[in-house]
Amino acid sequence: MFWSLFASKNKKLVIKWKKEHEEIVVLAHKVIAAYSKNDDELTKKELRALNSIAVDHLMNEDIEFYRLLKDQKRLHGDTEALVHEFTQTFKGTKHLLMSFLTKYTQPNAVLDETFFQTFNEIVGVLAKRIAFEEENLYTELSK
């Protein structure tokens, strides 16, 4: 923890983003648990919490990736290409996630089997993206 006081801005971002990933995963599990108990009220509460952190996380990433691409002194070697690739290939998934969360956090949204199946599919895709992001992009940003 002490070393983080002297860490580069990129390393600090990576630490922050990894923590947010952990929170997103925990909330996804809470949504699944609440839905499995047929507790629509709790499921929506957890979905709203997930929506909040996901939107904040994605917006912050977008802003910081834009800054990184503009300030190439903060990037090493192929890192710029990785940042650019990640932002371009993640657009579709990001829009799908945001549309899904917007739809199902509405007070009148019905949390049926379609909701749950789609949620699990999105969580699967996000898990792969988070793993890719942390193993590749974050590793490069931390150098």
> For position 140, what pLDDT does the model report?
80
Q: Phi first, then psi: what are they for 137, rounded to 5°?
A: -65, -50
> For position 77, what pLDDT does the model report?
61
> For position 76, what pLDDT does the model report?
62
Q: What is the pLDDT of residues 12-45, one digit of tens each?
A: 999 999 999 999 999 999 999 999 999 999 999 9
Cβ-defined contacts of 76-82 (< 8 Å, 24+): 76/140, 76/143, 77/140, 78/140, 79/137, 79/140, 79/141, 79/143, 82/136, 82/137, 82/140
pLDDT at 7 over 60: no
pLDDT at 99 over 80: yes
**Model-level pTM greater than 0.75?**
yes
